[in-house]
Amino acid sequence: MSQKIYFTPGPTQLYFTVQDHLKAALKEDVMSISHRSKAFEKIFSETRENVSELLDLPSGYDIYFTSSANEIWERIVQNLVHNKSHHFVNGSFAQKFYNFALDYQKQSTATVPGNGKAFDDLSVPEDTELISVTLNETSIGYGFETQKIEKLRANHPDKLIAVDGVSAFPAVPFNFSLADTAYFSVQKSFGLPSGLGVWIVNEKCYAKADDLTKNGVITGSYHQLNTLRKSGIKNQTPETPNTLGIYLLGKVAKDMLFRSAKAIQNETTYKSTVLYQAIEKSSSMTPFILNKANRSKTVIVAQMEGSNSETLKALSEKGWIIGSGYGNYKSSHLRIANFPMHSKEVVEQLADTLSVW
Ligand SMILES: *Cc1c(COP(=O)(O)O)cnc(C)c1O
């Protein structure tokens, strides 16, 4: 591997053990075995078990594999929304999911405070079927407070709650009983090659999908929830899946379990504090999110005085690949991933450099 360290918010630096697991996968013919074989079923069930244990999923929550989080947005709209979803939009990723619902001509609604401001108003239209929350908005480094999800849960026991945890899990703690469906893709906090989405659902999601089907709604084809479920019971997938991706996820989840989710989460908090302090000290940048309670722990976003291009270039000459801003903020923000594979030591070195920038 190169000497570079990718602090980009996804794809990012691979988790420490990926190289060894890739070698083992080649030896074990993971890329050649049939997806209808016992060997595949074993990989599938082990990955499910390890991820479920790492995230501490309550019983009754099942895991399915897709190609990406984008795909899961579409599957949620198809399978879990008849007419209306409501979206708490704190940046571009949350906005995209909302747009998917509109693409499907749902009468969906959104709360959009804009520019990293907090959600003061948690109200939701009465006839909304599903509420969408982005736990960690990667585009601007906005963290949605757990207490607000608790409130939404308490106020709307009849509605489904969907949580986008793409750049949060497993580095940010989350009580999954607050959500009916949650999802992530693996190229962020897990430090794996892209091309795999992980979709978590509970019984209420199956019931909703059944209800839509009974009402004659088309819920998709090979990846409709019911099809995924039928295959999943056999530890299989409807299509020929990303077997290598599923294998690697299972292995890395196991490695993370060895460290423990709690240890990873505590280290994430520590490193994020170090990075925010450095940005506050620096004379050329400030944290973009002003409200401390909403500062992401895994994607640290700094607003630069001027353009970020010199800074990105200078840091890349040191071997540190930092993310540029997202969308409109492309040339004014730095986005620094703080994921489990970014060691305390390298984060401290980066922070030392930023603090005198
Ligand atoms: C990256 C990201 C996505 C999209 O993930 P894909 O794997 O590209 O589909 C969705 N939501 C958030 C918060 C993300 O960071």
| Best of 185, 186, 198 for a ligand 1 pocket test (most atoms within 8 Å of beta carbon) | 185
The two tokens of residue 206 are: 């199956």
For a mutational test of ligand 1's pocket, the pick from 66, 93, 187, i.e. the residue with the most ligand atoms closer than 8 A to its C-beta, is 93
C-beta of residue 295 within 8 angstroms of C-beta of residue 145: no
92 lines ligand 1 (CB under 6 A): no
- At 207-250, the pLDDT tens digits run 999 999 999 999 999 999 999 999 999 999 999 999 999 999 99
Phi-psi region of 102 (alpha: psi -120 to 50; beta: other; left: phi over 0): alpha
Index of the ligand 1 atom closest to the CA of residue 69: 9
Q: From edge to edge, which strands make up the β-sheet containing 130-134?
A: 62-66, 197-201, 181-185, 160-164, 130-134, 85-88, 109-111
pLDDT in tens, 174-198: 999 999 999 999 999 999 999 999 9
Helices (H) and strands (E) in the chain, counts: 11, 14
Residue nearest (by alpha carbon) to ligand 1 atom 4 = 69
Instruction: Give the nearest ligand 1 atom to 197 CA.
Output: 7
Q: What does pTM read for this prediction?
A: 0.98
Q: Is the pLDDT of residue 331 over 70?
A: yes
3-state DSSP assignment of residue 189: coil
Say how far apart CA 96 and CA 166 lie, in whole Å. 14
**43 Cβ below 6 A of ligand 1:** no
The rounded Å distance from CA 219 to ligand 1 centre is: 22
Q: Could you read off the pLDDT of 23-57 as tens digits, one per residue? A: 999 999 999 999 999 999 999 999 999 999 999 99
Residue 250: the pLDDT is: 99
The CB of 146 under 6 Å from ligand 1? The reply is: no
Residue 115: band (very low, low, confident or very high) from pLDDT cuts 50, 70, 90: confident
Q: Tell me, what's the pLDDT at 154? A: 98
The pLDDT score that the predictor gives to residue 2 is 77
